[in-house]
A = this chain, B = another copy of it.
């Protein structure tokens, strides 16, 4: 369908030089090792001038879980590259087996897998088909959110049925309720939690990494695969 080609636009650079006293402004090619061999001179601009890409798949940016940067980054990337034959990267389409595993994990209590967990899950699921860490990450995000949403809705419904018994919102066609509502759902715990967690904690060397695995980031405790014991480092 759509091929993404970049319109090699030439962006102009930043006209106004900041002139901030210090001279940091330009990302001058210096440090930028040019990983990119500086394509169009975009680099020294320090400014994104590009008109913005038109094709959705032309450039994806994204926020993805740190696991990405961990060691099997290469693997994942490789995978990705292979995946994109011609048509833009189509979105991940989980295989039944993959879903099965994911759901099991979820039911096991996993809610927000950390980098290692994601790495491993990804690796495991990779056996059933193409998959990237971000897919796993997103899956949990979405699943968690939707599960909660579903429960909330159910609770409301139950409530209304129980109480009024007649005032069914009716407007449920799709997803009726917008936010709001707090209901009391949510089993217990998991309320007001929010802790820091994420990112690059994986230090401890890739090598060392293989130490302990189970470390449920949130409230889970399950041990996914009998794999290498991930370093529990601390």
Contacts and interface: CB of A to CB of B under 8 A. Distances in A.
Interface of A: 4-9, 11-12, 14-16, 18-20, 22, 24-25, 27-40, 42-43, 45-66, 68-73, 76-77, 80-81, 83-84, 89, 96-101, 103-117, 119-121, 123-128, 132, 134, 137, 143, 146-147, 150-151, 154-155, 158, 187, 189-190, 193, 195-206, 209-231, 233-234
A99 B81 CA distance: 34
B16 A81 contact: no
14 contacts: A11-B213, A15-B226, A25-B104, A31-B123, A36-B116, A39-B214, A43-B222, A53-B215, A54-B233, A55-B234, A61-B198, A63-B198, A64-B69, A69-B77
B73 A73 contact: yes
B71 A68 contact: no
Contacts of A143: 15
Contacts of A128: 24, 31
